Structure 1
Amino acid sequence: MEQVTWPLVAGLGGLAALDSLNPATLVAVTLILLGSRRNPVADTLGFVAGAFLTVLSVGVMVYLGADAATDGVANGLVWVRRGAFGFAAAVVLVSAIQALGPRRRRELVLPSWFNPGTAAGLGVLMTGADLPNAFPYFIAIERLVSADVGAPVALALLAAYAVIYCLPCLVLLAIGLRGGPVTRHLRRLHDRFGTEADIPASKVRAAGLAALAAGLAAVAVTA
């Protein structure tokens, strides 16, 4: 078992900060802040709690599974890494194919029964659905397994990762409650991503996503 090093901690922190800049999560927080009919603070905190628990629990399961694979299978970590990048490549490729055709985006509207509990459930669903695209997340877990710091330390670092992941949402909540120009910017963000709209086909976007998928597939094959 090795000791925790500052480069490892700094690397994990950087990956978590990159992972935290998640458009879907930030738009959801904006929608809750602007659309909650009863208690926007409690509803937003419920959403953040759901996101935190999802990132932490999935991270723990993936870490423990990867750690067991490295102990029980020759070159197990290599296959865990290849599986993560291969799955990510498949998800991005599906997005590239979808970009070739037009689609209708539905308006995001909070129902009357929306409350902190259902907000937490929404946080779980949205975060869980987006995790396959969270490349920094799997890289961080791979680094933890490679570092061999031991399960207790690794789980503590995963918890810190989940906290950093949620920080932009909490900052957005604090800023949004102040009102003024910031609220107007949040309203524009909501109008840009949360309203009903026709999304046209884009060969440029599809080509970019296809190139990204090819790059991830190459990493999966050569990892």
Structure 2
Amino acid sequence: MTPALLAGIAGLAALDALNPATIVSVALILLAAPRRPGLIALATVAGAALTVFAVGTALYLTAGAAVGAVEGVITVLRFAAFGAAAVGLVVAGVRRLRDRPRRPVALPAWFGPWTALPFGAVVTAADLPNAFPYFIAIERLVDAGAPAWQGLLVLAGYTLVYCLPCLVLLVVGLLARERTRARLERIVARFGQGTVRRSVPLAVLLFAAAVAVAAVPFLLS
């Protein structure tokens, strides 16, 4: 486990940390959660960390089968992520076929710390097909042939770096709570009132985008 290897993995982790899915999720929770936003956001980050460390550990400890395992995980998660995105685009297209009132920006009443943990885990898992630095880091660990305990420590450090932007956002959001609440009120005032008008061209565009997104995993297979 050389300093050059550790520096390379740290750089990969820093690159992987710029994950819009998790960061946006934490920001939305800090803005929209009516109660205990800090705890709920922290649970979301914990779920993300659990996925990163658990999947990395499973792949690393399989060693000889790591290459096949990585390929299998990428394939499954790619189909799941792009399939979910396609369904979301279809739903958005259907909604644009009729006028509807805007709904205020808010989280469902059932969304709390216990549901935020699996939410963070699922959001991060769905984004793993795009986490090429993550799989490169695991491959380098396997090639290094380091003892298992050292590899797990490195994976724990990778997980910490991965979650660092979300943790910084969490701290900033809690320290600037009043400013955050004022920003939420401006967002609600702008996007939570009025009517979303029917748009057939936009609906057709969303349907076409759904077909294109659904075809991506087949093209990459």
TM-score normalised per structure 2: 0.69
What SS does structure 1 have at the residue aligned with 2:92? strand
The residue aligned with 2:162 is 165
- 1:89 positional shift: 11
Within 5 Å, which residues of 2 pair with 1:132-143? Answer: 132-143=129-140
Seen in structure 2, the aligned counterparts of structure 1 residues 33 and 13 have a Cα distance that, compared at 3 Å, is same
- Structure 1: distance between partners of 2:73 and 2:119: 26
The residue aligned with 1:114 is 111
- Structure 2: distance between partners of 1:56 and 1:93: 19
Larger Rg: 2
In the alignment, which of 69, 72, 87 is matched to residue 75 of structure 2? 87
- Structure 1: distance between partners of 2:72 and 2:17: 19
Structure 2: which 5+ residue stretches go unaligned? Answer: 96-102, 197-201
What SS does structure 2 have at the residue aligned with 1:104? helix
TM-score normalised per structure 1: 0.68
In the alignment, which of 150, 153, 156 is matched to residue 156 of structure 1? 153
- Structure 1: distance between partners of 2:183 and 2:157: 27
Seen in structure 2, the aligned counterparts of structure 1 residues 176 and 186 have a Cα distance that, compared at 3 Å, is farther
Seen in structure 2, the aligned counterparts of structure 1 residues 113 and 92 have a Cα distance that, compared at 3 Å, is closer
- Residues paired across the two proteins, number: 194
In the alignment, which of 97, 104, 122 is matched to residue 92 of structure 2? 104
Structure 1: which 5+ residue stretches go unaligned? Answer: 71-76
Root-mean-square deviation (CA, aligned residues, Å) is 4.0
Query: What letter matches 2:44 in structure 1?
Result: F
Query: Is the 8 Å Cα contact of residues 88 and 135 (structure 1) preserved in structure 2?
Result: no
The residue aligned with 1:68 is 64
- 1:176 positional shift: 1.9
What SS does structure 1 have at the residue aligned with 2:35? coil
- 1:68 positional shift: 3.5
* Residue 52, structure 1, aligned to residue 40, structure 2: no
* Residue 30, structure 1, aligned to residue 30, structure 2: no
Query: Is the 8 Å Cα contact of residues 17 and 164 (structure 1) preserved in structure 2?
Result: yes
Seen in structure 2, the aligned counterparts of structure 1 residues 152 and 86 have a Cα distance that, compared at 3 Å, is closer
Query: Is the 8 Å Cα contact of residues 33 and 44 (structure 1) preserved in structure 2?
Result: yes
Seen in structure 2, the aligned counterparts of structure 1 residues 62 and 26 have a Cα distance that, compared at 3 Å, is same
- Structure 2: distance between partners of 1:39 and 1:90: 33
